[in-house]
C-alpha cells in the first residue's frame, strides 16, 4: 500500500475497533461479575444444597476479575500504543501536506515567473517597434501625398515582424485621433479605418511621458480579432523615433494569450499521478481565471483565493484540496498586474 493517508486512516480504524471491542468485553465482563454475585447470593440462601454452586460462582468471579485485569492492561498497552501511532501518522500526513503545499507554491511561483518574463519581453517589443522608421514615417506623413504609400509600407513591416514573432495576433498603428491606419494582418483582421480612440489602452498610451513608458492591460477577448484571447501592450509613437519626441499616435501589439499561457499552465513539472488530481491556473487581480490546465472556467470563473495578505503560501480547502499560490513578482521593468499562479491538488484517493 503506497498511499500514506490510507495507512493512517487504517490505523485510526484499528484504534476504533480495538477501543470498541475492549469496551464490549468490559461490558460483558461486568454482566458476568453481576451474575456471579447473584449466584453467590442464591447459593447462600440454598444452604448446604448450594455449596457446590457457590464454588462455581466463586470461580466465575475469579475468572471475571482476571478478564478485567487483562482488558485493563490491554486498553493501557494496545489502545495507548494505537493512540501514539495515530498521532504519529497524523503528524506525518501534516508534514507531507506541508511539503507538498510548499512544493506546489514554489511551482506556482515558477509558473507566474515564466509568465512575467514572457510579458516583460512583450513590453520591450512594443517600445522597440514604436521607433521603427516605417512605423514612425507612416504617422509623420499622415497628411502628405505619400500617406497611402507610407501606411502600406508600415503594414508590410508589421507583417514581417509578425512572421518572425509568432506569439502575436496582430500589430496596429493608430493615429493621434484613434484611427487604425496600418495593421500586419489586414486580410485576416480587416481593422484599418476603425476607431479605437475610446479604448483605455489608447488613451493611456497617448499620455505616456516618454518612449520608455508603455501600457499593459489584463487579458481580454477582442471582437476585431475574432474574439481571440489577447494581452494588449501599447506605447506612443514619437516624432523621429526619439524617446522625448512629440506624440504622433500609438503602436499596439496583441499577444496571443491562449496558446502561450496554456503551454505554461500545462507544462508544470508534475508526475502523471499528480496531474490526475491537480489543476494549475493563472488568475488576475480580481481572481478571474485567465488560464487553466483543464481549459475550464477561463474568463468566466472567479477563484476565491485565500491569500490573507501573503505573496505566496498554501492552505487546505474544506474538501481537503491543498491550494498553493504565488503572486506575480514582476520582472525588470514589468511590474506585473497583480496576477497569481495557483495550483490546486486534491488528496490521494485510498488504495
Domain locations in the chain as residue ranges:
4-96, 121-260
Confidence (pLDDT) at 75: 67
Confidence (pLDDT) at 1: 40
Q: Which CATH number fits the domain 4-96, given the four candidates 3.20.20.10, 1.10.287.950, 3.20.20.80, 3.90.76.10?
A: 1.10.287.950
Whether this prediction's pTM lies above 0.75 is answered by no
* SS3 assignment, position 231: strand
Residue 72 to residue 94: CA distance in whole angstroms: 32
Q: List 289's β-bridge partners, or say none.
A: 283
Residue 73 to residue 225: CA distance in whole angstroms: 78
121-260: what fold?
Beta-Lactamase (3.30.450)
Confidence (pLDDT) at 86: 62
| Cβ atoms within 10 Å of 15's Cβ, excluding its own | 18
Cell of 196: 479605437
Residue 299 to residue 231: CA distance in whole angstroms: 13
Q: Tens-digit pLDDT profile for the chain (351 aa)?
A: 455 555 656 666 666 766 677 677 767 767 766 666 666 676 677 666 655 656 666 676 666 677 767 767 766 666 666 666 666 555 555 555 555 788 899 999 999 999 999 999 999 999 999 999 999 999 998 878 888 999 999 999 999 999 999 999 999 999 999 999 999 999 999 999 999 999 999 999 999 999 999 999 999 999 999 999 999 999 999 999 999 999 999 999 999 999 999 999 999 999 998 999 999 999 999 999 999 999 999 999 999 999 999 999 999 998 889 999 999 998 888 888 999 999 999 987 644
* Alpha-carbon separation of residue 3 from 6, 9, 82, 343, 349 (angstroms): 5, 10, 19, 21, 8
Amino acid at each position: 500500500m503506497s498511499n500514506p493517508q490510507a495507512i493512517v486512516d487504517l490505523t485510526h480504524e484499528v484504534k476504533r475497533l480495538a477501543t470498541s471491542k475492549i469496551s464490549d468485553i468490559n461490558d460483558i465482563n461486568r454482566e458476568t461479575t453481576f451474575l456471579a454475585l447473584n449466584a453467590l447470593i442464591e447459593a447462600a440462601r440454598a444452604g448446604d444444597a448450594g455449596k457446590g454452586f457457590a464454588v462455581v460462582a466463586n470461580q466465575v468471579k475469579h475468572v471475571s476479575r482476571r478478564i478485567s485485569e487483562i482488558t485493563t492492561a490491554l486498553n493501557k498497552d494496545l489502545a495507548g500504543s494505537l493512540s501514539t501511532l495515530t498521532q504519529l501518522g497524523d503528524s506525518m500526513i501534516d508534514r507531507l501536506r506541508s511539503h507538498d503545499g510548499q512544493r506546489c507554491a514554489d511551482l506556482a511561483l515558477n509558473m507566474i515567473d515564466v509568465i512575467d518574463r514572457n510579458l516583460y519581453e512583450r513590453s520591450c517589443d512594443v517600445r522597440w517597434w514604436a521607433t521603427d522608421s516605417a512605423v514612425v514615417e507612416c504617422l509623420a506623413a499622415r497628411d502628405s501625398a505619400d500617406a497611402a504609400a507610407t501606411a502600406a509600407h508600415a503594414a508590410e513591416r508589421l507583417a514581417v515582424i509578425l512572421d518572425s514573432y509568432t506569439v502575436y495576433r496582430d500589430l496596429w498603428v493608430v493615429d493621434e485621433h484613434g484611427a487604425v491606419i496600418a495593421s500586419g494582418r489586414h486580410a485576416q483582421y480587416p481593422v484599418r479605418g476603425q476607431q479605437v480612440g475610446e479604448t483605455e489602452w489608447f488613451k493611456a498610451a497617448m499620455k505616456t511621458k516618454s518612449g520608455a513608458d508603455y501600457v499593459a492591460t489584463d487579458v481580454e477577448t477582442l471582437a476585431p480579432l475574432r474574439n481571440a484571447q489577447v494581452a494588449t501592450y501599447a506605447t506612443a509613437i514619437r516624432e523621429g523615433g526619439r524617446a522625448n519626441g512629440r506624440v504622433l499616435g500609438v503602436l499596439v501589439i496583441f499577444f496571443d494569450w491562449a496558446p502561450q499561457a496554456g503551454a505554461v499552465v500545462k507544462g508544470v513539472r508534475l508526475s502523471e499521478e499528480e496531474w490526475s488530481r491537480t489543476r494549475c491556473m493563472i488568475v488576475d487581480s480580481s481572481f478571474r481565471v485567465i488560464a487553466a490546465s483543464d481549459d475550464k472556467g477561463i474568463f468566466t470563473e472567479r477563484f476565491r483565493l485565500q491569500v490573507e495578505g501573503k505573496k505566496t503560501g498554501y492552505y487546505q480547502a474544506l474538501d481537503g484540496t491543498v491550494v498553493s499560490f504565488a503572486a506575480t513578482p514582476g520582472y525588470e521593468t514589468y511590474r506585473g498586474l497583480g496576477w497569481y499562479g495557483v495550483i490546486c491538488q486534491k488528496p490521494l484517493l485510498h488504495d
